[in-house]
Chains A and B, each alone.
Chain A
Amino acid sequence: MQTRTVEMTVNGKTCSCSVPVTQPLAVVLRDRFRLSTSISCGEGNCGSCSVLLDGQPVRSCLMLAVQASGRAVTTVEGLDLQLPRLQKAFCQNHAVQCGFCAPGFTIAAAALLQNGFRPSEAEIREGIKGHLCRCSGYAGLVAAILQAAADG
């Protein structure tokens, strides 16, 4: 298995690691860095593995770890400023049930609300439609993001 040394910033810390060239970023984040990135479909259909890459949401299961070379990756653990506001809104609105999709939705919400954007309900639904939740029917997630936007 061919490996390559990749230098990337993960949640603000620059690290250098040797990864198999065919390994997805999601696997490295979950198994090597022990972060909250979950792999649900591995094919880019569900959004559970979403992380921020240089501030923009991407599906880390569709990226090779070597493609993150020189880039900044942010998972839920790295959302310092926005996280408490999002967590409070998700919790108060009973947005989450099993929690497996929660990291992906948290990243999606953080991306949607950056730069002080205050989306309408319709814009929120459109903005998170790339993320699947099988437990909740989305109502609590939408209400939570609306609240977080208002609080922000």
Chain B
Amino acid sequence: MLGKAIHRSEDARLLSGKGRFVSNLQFPDMIHAAILRSPHAAARILEIRTGQARNLPGVIAVWTFADLKDVLKPIPQIAPHPSLRPRTPYPLVDKIVHHEGEPVAIVAAETYAVCRDALREIEVRYEPLPVVLDAEAGLSGSPRVHDDLADNCAAHFGQEAGNVDAALADCDCVITERFSIGRVSAQAMETRAVIARFEPDASTSRLTVWCNTQSPHILRSLLAQQVGLPRFDIRVIAPDIGGGFGVKNRYYPENTLIPLLAIRLGRTVKWVESRRESFLCTYHGREQVHQVTLGLDKTGRIRGLRDRILYDQGAYTTLGIVVPHITTISVPGPYRVPNYQVECTAVYTHKAPSVPYRGAGKPQACFVMERMLDAAAARLGIDPVEIRRRNLLQPEDFPYNTRLQDADATQVLYDSGDYPKCLEKVLDLIGHNSFEREKRDAALAGRKLGLGVACFIEMTGRGPYESGLVRVEPNGHIVVSAGISSQGQGQETTLAQICAHCLEVELGSVHVRLGDTAAIPLGIGVYAGRSAIMAGNAVALACAAVREKLMKAGAAILGVAPEAVEYTGGKVRELADPHRTLTLGEVAMRLYSPALVFPFPAGIDPGLEALRYYKSSRPAYSNGAYAVVVEVDPETGHVKIVRHALVHDCGNMINPAVVETQMTGGIAQGIGASLFEELQYGPDGRLLNASLDSYLLPRATEIPTLRQAHVVTPSPFNPLGLKGVGEGGTIPVAPALAAAIENALGTGMKLTHVPMTPPRVLALSLAAREQSDRTEEALIRS
């Protein structure tokens, strides 16, 4: 069952149009909500007039901060850090707007159309304030995003391993570069949605919230604080989710506002984010600036690396410094960096908060390291693949202590891997050996081809814990739950595979129930490639406990000693008399039924289930290498991906098809962020491209089928030997594409900004042509 590319059980409903997406759910007597948002990035609210809106037929409520000031609290700061000067929003703006799209008023009405009409009737008088729109400008401290802070510094932290100053002073080659990574939006196909229902007379949880959240239990805890209800009085259900990518983990203002409407109005309330809102108010990712110095010896071996990072925090510290901290410990990547010093300043700006978006700081780190190696290769006249070979960590280096500390002060330790093997294998897959000839032939036909390669690692499976519940039913079927929800990563199938493997049962007899705080008491959620490692191992622990009880209870029912039975093929079997067997269902029946029907086995507790928590403080490290061949149109700057290949190592694979589809999906997002996607702001801080026709996601004509291969080095850090896969694809794409584009145009390391859009590539192409014209001219004259 493990290691098999089983077809997904989720597909039955998703391919019949029966997906249970919150945005599509309907309830009888349901009303709708819509939110009035600030059109200004920075403003003081002078006055709000809601009278006209309230009077519209069909309008049930119009609220501003003033209407809720007795109950509204700032959204709690999670992920604190000693260096953090945190600021979090209220669910409705009181007086000062800090980014475009902040909620200023909320309307509830019988229909969504009436909500929209009511929004138009609300009059708000704003006094626009000066804006800070990038981290470098924000450093000056003026204007200030938060008046009660001395400047715009949200956090400052760093660390050093070794002695970088000494190392750099003693190098044959020192290179300094500046890199910038643009701000992006996750753009899942399903926007955020919340439905809330409050039943004051219910005997179980009175407040039920349906939300497409990646962390139902965390949402419940925060919601309890926000609405003043105890946790046990709230149930959060996250059914099918149309894409998450990290940004659906956060606690948003609507998570408080919609339940408050339900509680106060006594109606079921539904809110669905519009596509435009998803650009403005679903939080953003990635924006960083790096000032890097790399020192190497003349053979291209790294001696020292220094990185100064500016992180565009946005207006609030929603998840503290988690993302930039990950960047700081990820820059060295798969390489031996004997001396490394990194400093990061997170800066407040008048933009939506920056939070983890698939990759969570690792794509930026990989871009920096890979680009610096390309720069060094060009400077030293070493082949870019060879310079990587010389610096990659070797199999005998593991477990590898980077001498760096994670944000929770644990040592950053790489568990296992064969980095050189992944590189060699991807070179083979992409046709590296024959590429020079391919490139020459293409040049003769007037086509500019280029090849680029990048190596990467991926920290996965962050703790602190995840829950797994396994219960055998009297009919012999098994129900599995975990403290996670699914956004399409196939966990219903992979967790069933683990259970079927551990309990030696048919896959079809295992039913996985996720995304419900009523199904399992505690949980954390889905992010950073943790479902398989954390929920998978928790389910495996629970299965082991169930298996042990099966044997003990089965022996007692058969009237023999516990050592006299074995459990194989889904049955408890008496060793001395193999015809005497009990199925799981038969054992469960005895353990569930009252003593009146069957005698209850002595010394055994009722029920055949186990709830287990897998605790981990040791992330597992996946790794890989990505190679891409591009064709660049020197007249337009258009980049076409001719072919691409990936070799990836995620340790043991539960379901290789699930792994591969996660990788292709990640690479697709990597391509989007590398060639097309960047949020653009006007000078007043308003988003210019808050729409899918101006913020471009890659389409089927842009991404050829990926050639994939795997290397398997199980992780010694968890019992199942798993490593995560969720984020990996996003990590290596930008630097590999940059190298490929430069290779096609015959330039050195010049592309230092992500995304590499046609205008930027065209500028490089024109500069390269000008350079080669000048060179030719000089040759002719001489």
Interface positions of A (Cβ within 8 A of B)? 1, 20, 22-23, 30-31, 34-36, 38-43, 45-46, 48, 75-77, 83, 86-87, 90-92, 94, 96-103, 106, 124-126, 128-143
A136 touches B661 (CB 8 A): yes
Closest A-chain residue to B18, C-beta based? A36
Closest A-chain residue to B244, C-beta based? A98
Interface hit among B100-108, B183-191, B302-310: B183-191
Given A46-B692, A125-B700, A129-B699, do A96 and B14 touch, yes or no (CB 8 Å)?
A: yes
Interface positions of B (Cβ within 8 A of A)? 5, 7-8, 10-11, 13-19, 21, 23-24, 26, 111, 113-114, 186-191, 240-243, 245, 274-275, 487-490, 657-658, 660-661, 664-665, 667-669, 691-693, 697, 699-701, 703, 705-706, 729
How near does chain B come to A104, taking the closest CB pair, in angstroms?
A: 9
B697 touches A134 (CB 8 A): yes
**What's the Cα separation between A124 and B487 when bound, in Å?**
26
Chain A residue numbers with a CB within 8 Å of B21 are 38, 100
How near does chain A come to B667, taking the closest CB pair, in angstroms?
A: 6
Contact of B692 among A38, A39, A43, A126 (CB under 8 A): A43
Closest B-chain residue to A124, C-beta based? B700
Contact of A136 among B13, B114, B665, B693 (CB under 8 A): B665
Closest B-chain residue to A23, C-beta based? B113
Chain A residue numbers with a CB within 8 Å of B691 are 41, 43, 45
How near does chain B come to A40, taking the closest CB pair, in angstroms?
A: 5
A137 touches B664 (CB 8 A): yes
B16 touches A94 (CB 8 A): no
A131 touches B700 (CB 8 A): yes
Chain B residue numbers with a CB within 8 Å of A98 are 14, 188-190, 240-243, 487-488
B699 touches A39 (CB 8 A): no
Chain A residue numbers with a CB within 8 Å of B692 are 41, 43, 45-46, 132
**What's the Cα separation between A122 and B10 when bound, in Å?**
29
Would you list 24 pairs from A and B whose C-beta atoms are within 8 A, ordered by A residue?
A: A1-B114, A36-B19, A38-B189, A43-B692, A46-B692, A77-B17, A87-B16, A90-B15, A92-B7, A94-B658, A96-B8, A96-B14, A98-B488, A99-B19, A100-B21, A100-B190, A101-B189, A125-B701, A129-B700, A134-B188, A134-B245, A139-B703, A139-B706, A143-B705
A100 touches B700 (CB 8 A): no
A142 touches B15 (CB 8 A): no
B17 touches A103 (CB 8 A): yes
Chain A residue numbers with a CB within 8 Å of B669 are 134
Chain A residue numbers with a CB within 8 Å of B665 are 97, 134-137
**What's the Cα separation between A126 and B702 when bound, in Å?**
10
A102 touches B661 (CB 8 A): no
The 10 closest A-B pairs by CB, nearest first: A36-B17, A100-B242, A98-B488, A99-B14, A137-B668, A97-B488, A45-B692, A137-B664, A76-B17, A41-B275
Chain A residue numbers with a CB within 8 Å of B700 are 124-125, 128-129, 131, 138, 141-142
How near does chain B come to A65, taking the closest CB pair, in angstroms?
A: 12
**What's the Cα separation between A131 and B702 when bound, in Å?**
12
Chain A residue numbers with a CB within 8 Å of B13 are 99
Q: How many cross-chain pairs have Cβ atoms below 8 Å apart between A and B?
A: 170
Closest B-chain residue to A93, C-beta based? B657
A100 touches B705 (CB 8 A): no
**What's the Cα separation between A138 and B700 when bound, in Å?**
6
**What's the Cα separation between A125 and B188 when bound, in Å?**
21
B275 touches A91 (CB 8 A): no
A100 touches B113 (CB 8 A): no
Given A46-B692, A97-B489, do A102 and B697 touch, yes or no (CB 8 Å)?
A: no
Chain B residue numbers with a CB within 8 Å of A140 are 661, 664
A142 touches B705 (CB 8 A): yes
Closest A-chain residue to B116, C-beta based? A22
A46 touches B189 (CB 8 A): yes
A48 touches B189 (CB 8 A): yes
Chain A residue numbers with a CB within 8 Å of B488 are 96-99, 135
Given contacts A101-B189, A132-B697, A136-B661, 20 further A-B contacts (CB under 8 A): A1-B111, A36-B16, A40-B191, A41-B275, A43-B275, A43-B692, A94-B8, A96-B8, A96-B11, A98-B188, A98-B243, A99-B19, A100-B242, A125-B701, A126-B701, A129-B700, A134-B189, A136-B664, A139-B706, A140-B664
A40 touches B275 (CB 8 A): yes
Closest B-chain residue to A89, C-beta based? B15
Max chain B C-beta neighbours (<10 A), residue from A97, A131, A142: A97
A135 touches B243 (CB 8 A): yes
Chain B residue numbers with a CB within 8 Å of A38 are 21, 23-24, 189-190, 242
Closest A-chain residue to B488, C-beta based? A98
A100 touches B7 (CB 8 A): no
Closest B-chain residue to A100, C-beta based? B242
Chain A residue numbers with a CB within 8 Å of B15 are 86-87, 90-91, 96, 99, 102, 106
